[in-house]
Chains A and B, each alone.
Chain A
Amino acid sequence: MTLRTEERLATPAPELDLARMLERRRGVRLSIRGRNVTLRGLSAPRSGVLGLLTLLGPGLIAATAGDDAGGIATYSQVGAKYGYDLLWVLLIVTITLAAIQEMAARLGAATGRGLLDLVREHFGIGWTLLMVVVVLVANGGVIVTEFAGIAAASELFGISRYIAVPLCALVMWYSVSRGSYAAVEKVFLVMTLAFFAYPASVVLGHPDWGAVLHGTFVPTLSRESGYLPMLVALIGTTVTPYMQLFQQSSVVEKGVARRHYGEERTDAYLGAIISNLIAACIIIAAAATLRVAGITEVQTAQDAAAALEPAAGKAAQALFAIGLLGASILAAGVLPLATAYSVSEAFGFRKGVNLDFRRAPFFLTIFSVLIFVGAAVALLPGIPLFQLLIGIQVLNGVLLPSELVFIMLLINNRRVVGDLRNGLGNNIVGWGSLGLVSTAVGALLLNQVFGFMG
Chain B
Amino acid sequence: MVMFSHLRRFTVRDEHGADASLRDLSVDLSAHDYPPVARIIFRHNQRAHLGWEEVRRIDLRQRRIIVSDLARATPLADEPLEKSALLDRDVLDALVLDLANRHSMRANDLWLEEHDGKLELRAADISAWAVVRRLGNGLLGHGSHRHLLDWQDVEFLRGDPSAARGGHDYHHRVASLQPSEIARLLDAVPYLHAAELLELVDKELAADTLEVMRPERQVQVFEELMQERRIGLLRLMAPDHAADLLARLGPDRARDDLEALPKQQRERVLELLRYPDNSAGGIMTNDLVLVESHLRVGEARDALRERLLKPDFVYYVYVVDSLEARRLEGVVTLRDLLVAEPHDGLRETMRRGVAILDPLMSADAAAHRVADQHLAALPVVDKDGRLLGTVTADAALLQLAPASMRGAEPRVFT
Q: Give A contacts to B, CB under 8 Å.
A: 1-9, 11-12, 14, 17-18, 21, 24-25, 27-28, 30-33, 37-45, 58, 61, 111-113, 117, 120-121, 124-126, 129, 179, 181-182, 185, 246, 249-250, 252-260, 334, 337-338, 341, 347-354, 362
Contacts and interface: CB of A to CB of B under 8 A. Distances in A.
A42 B251 CA distance: 7
Interface in B92-149: 93-95, 103-108, 126, 128, 131, 134-135
Contacts of B409: 352-354
Contacts of B219: 255, 257, 260
Interface string B219-257: 110011000000000000000000100110011011100
Nearest to A21: B276
Given A41-B274, A41-B276, A354-B410, A3 B220 contact: no
The interface centre, meaning the residue of A14, A111, A182 with most chain B CB atoms within 10 A of its CB, is A14
The interface centre, meaning the residue of B104, B193, B253, B411 with most chain A CB atoms within 10 A of its CB, is B411
A20 B305 CA distance: 43
Given A11-B358, A17-B360, A255-B217, A111 B190 contact: yes
Given A30-B255, A113-B190, A21 B105 contact: no
Contacts of B374: 1, 4
B190 A112 contact: yes
9 contacts: A1-B315, A6-B353, A8-B353, A24-B276, A32-B270, A38-B274, A125-B93, A348-B106, A350-B103
B182 to A, nearest CB: 17
Given A126-B135, A249-B413, A28 B360 contact: no
Given A6-B355, A111-B192, A125-B135, 4 more contacts: A3-B354, A14-B361, A17-B279, A33-B259
Contacts of A182: 410-411, 414
Contacts of A348: 95, 104-108, 126
A168 B93 CA distance: 38
B191 interface: yes
A14 B360 contact: yes
Contacts of A9: 355-356, 369
Contact of B414 (A14, A27, A185): A185
Given A5-B353, A8-B356, A37-B274, A42 B247 contact: yes
Contact of B375 (A3, A12, A362): A3
A362 B154 CA distance: 22
Contact of A179 (B105, B282, B410): B410
Nearest to B220: A257
B365 interface: yes
Contact of A258 (B108, B216, B224, B246): B224
B215 to A, nearest CB: 8
A349 B104 CA distance: 9
B165 to A, nearest CB: 15
A-B residue pairs, 8 tightest by C-beta? A348-B106, A255-B216, A250-B413, A112-B190, A41-B273, A112-B191, A14-B358, A257-B220
Nearest to A40: B276
A288 B236 CA distance: 67
A270 B352 CA distance: 59
Contacts of B190: 111-113, 117, 252
Given A8-B356, A41-B243, A28 B251 contact: yes
A124 to B, nearest CB: 7
Contacts of A38: 274
Contacts of B413: 58, 246, 249-250, 253, 334, 338, 341
Contacts of A21: 276, 278-279, 360, 362
A112 B250 CA distance: 20
A38 B273 CA distance: 9
A5 B106 contact: no
A12 B374 CA distance: 19
B279 A341 contact: no
Interface in B74-107: 93-95, 103-107
A348 B109 CA distance: 12
Contacts of B373: 4, 6
A337 B104 CA distance: 20
Contacts of B315: 1
A253 B243 CA distance: 24
Nearest to A345: B106
Contacts of B217: 255
Contacts of B301: none
Contacts of A250: 413-414
Contacts of B279: 17, 21, 40
A40 B412 contact: no
Contacts of B163: none
B88 to A, nearest CB: 10
Contacts of A252: 190
B370 to A, nearest CB: 11
A109 to B, nearest CB: 9
Given A1-B374, A1-B376, A14-B358, A32 B266 contact: yes
B275 interface: yes
B353 A337 contact: no
B273 to A, nearest CB: 4
Contacts of A2: 333
A199 to B, nearest CB: 25
Contacts of B243: 41
Given A11-B361, A30-B251, A32-B259, A61 B414 contact: yes
A39 B270 contact: yes
B353 to A, nearest CB: 5
Interface string B177-193: 00000000000001111
Contacts of A3: 316, 331, 333, 351, 354, 375
B278 to A, nearest CB: 7
Nearest to B352: A5
A14 B276 CA distance: 14
A45 B219 CA distance: 16
Nearest to B393: A1
B391 interface: no
Contacts of A14: 358, 360-361
B155 to A, nearest CB: 15
A256 B251 CA distance: 17
Given A14-B358, A17-B360, A347-B131, A253 B93 contact: no
Contacts of B95: 348
Contacts of B105: 348
A259 B353 contact: no
Given A6-B355, A257-B191, A42 B410 contact: no
A202 to B, nearest CB: 29
Interface string B56-76: 000000000000000000000
Given A17-B362, A111-B192, A25 B352 contact: no
B258 A32 contact: yes
B384 to A, nearest CB: 14
Given A257-B223, A347-B108, A40 B365 contact: no
Given A120-B93, A353-B410, A7 B353 contact: yes
Given A112-B191, A348-B106, A42 B352 contact: no
A7 B355 CA distance: 7
B150 interface: no
B223 A27 contact: no
B169 interface: no
